Amino acid sequence: MTTQPVIRLDDVLLVSLHSDMGDEDAIRLQDDIADRVASVAPRGVLLDLSAVEIIDSFLARVVHDMAAVTATMDAVTVVVGIRPAVAITMAELGLDLGGLCTALTVDAGLRELRARDEVRDRERP
């Protein structure tokens, strides 16, 4: 893959996935993110799926594993931008991403990360 899908915004990594990604590209990206999280130690990772036209069980597994690996390094993953048609299809397949944190847009995802920081040890009422 020639494009560089991992961008650093202050203390957040923004990762944009696209639809032409093959299974092996996805696995490579997963490894790449793990390395970047280890070296940058971001507060959070935003996984932008707004350009992704389908999510099958393979990609769902990759997304889930990326988030799990990131969590072990104390960074929160927020999945953003899943399209309605993709979400409907995932629901029908039974892919729920294991309750990952989600947001509508990159902006909303950033807000979500900030809110989590502010109330880190204060639980919701």
User: For strand 76-80 and strand 44-48, is the pairing parallel, antiparallel, or unpaired?
Assistant: parallel
Which of residues 33 and 82 has its CB atom nearest to another protein in the complex? 82
| Given 46, 103, 110, 113, the residue binding another protein (CB under 8 A) | 103
> How far apart are alpha carbons 97 and 68 in whole angstroms?
11
**What are the backbone angles phi and psi of residue 100, rounded to the nearest 5°?**
-60, 155
Considering only residues 11, 23, 74, 117, which one is a binding residue for another protein as defined by CB under 8 A?
Answer: 23
Q: What phi, psi does 49 have (nearest 5°)?
A: -105, 15
> Of the two residues 21 and 34, which places its CB atom closer to another protein in the complex?
21
What residue ranges bind another protein (CB under 8 A)? 19-24, 53-58, 60-61, 79-80, 82-97, 102-105, 108-109, 125
